[in-house]
A = this chain, B = another copy of it.
Amino acid sequence: MIVYGDARSGNCYKIQLVASMLEIEHRWVHVDILDGGTQTRAFLSKNPNGKIPVVELASGTCLWESNAILYYFAQGTRLWPADPLQQARVLQWMFFEQYSHEPFIAVARFIAKFLGLPEQRQDEYAAKQSGGHKALRVMEHQLAQTPYIGGDGLTIADVALYAYTHVADEGGFDLASYGAIRRWLARFATEPGYVAMQR
Contacts and interface: CB of A to CB of B under 8 A. Distances in A.
Interface residues of A, number: 34
Given A48-B141, A85-B61, A141-B48, A95 B72 contact: no
Interface in A82-105: 84-85, 87-89, 91-92, 94-96, 98-100, 102-103
A48 B138 contact: yes
A194 to B, nearest CB: 24
B88 A69 contact: yes
A93 to B, nearest CB: 8
Contacts of A99: 65, 98-99, 102-103
A64 B99 CA distance: 13
A87 to B, nearest CB: 7
Contacts of A103: 99, 103
Contact of A63 (B49, B88, B142): B88
Contacts of A68: 88-89, 91-92, 94-95
- A-side interface mostly: helix
Contacts of A67: 91, 95
A75 interface: yes
A65 B96 CA distance: 7
A49 B141 CA distance: 10
Contacts of A66: 95
Given A49-B100, A65-B96, A68-B88, 10 more contacts: A48-B141, A57-B85, A65-B91, A65-B99, A68-B91, A68-B92, A68-B94, A71-B88, A71-B91, A95-B98
22 contacts: A48-B138, A48-B141, A49-B100, A51-B100, A63-B85, A63-B89, A64-B92, A65-B92, A65-B99, A66-B95, A67-B95, A68-B88, A68-B89, A71-B88, A72-B85, A72-B87, A72-B88, A75-B84, A75-B87, A95-B95, A99-B99, A99-B102
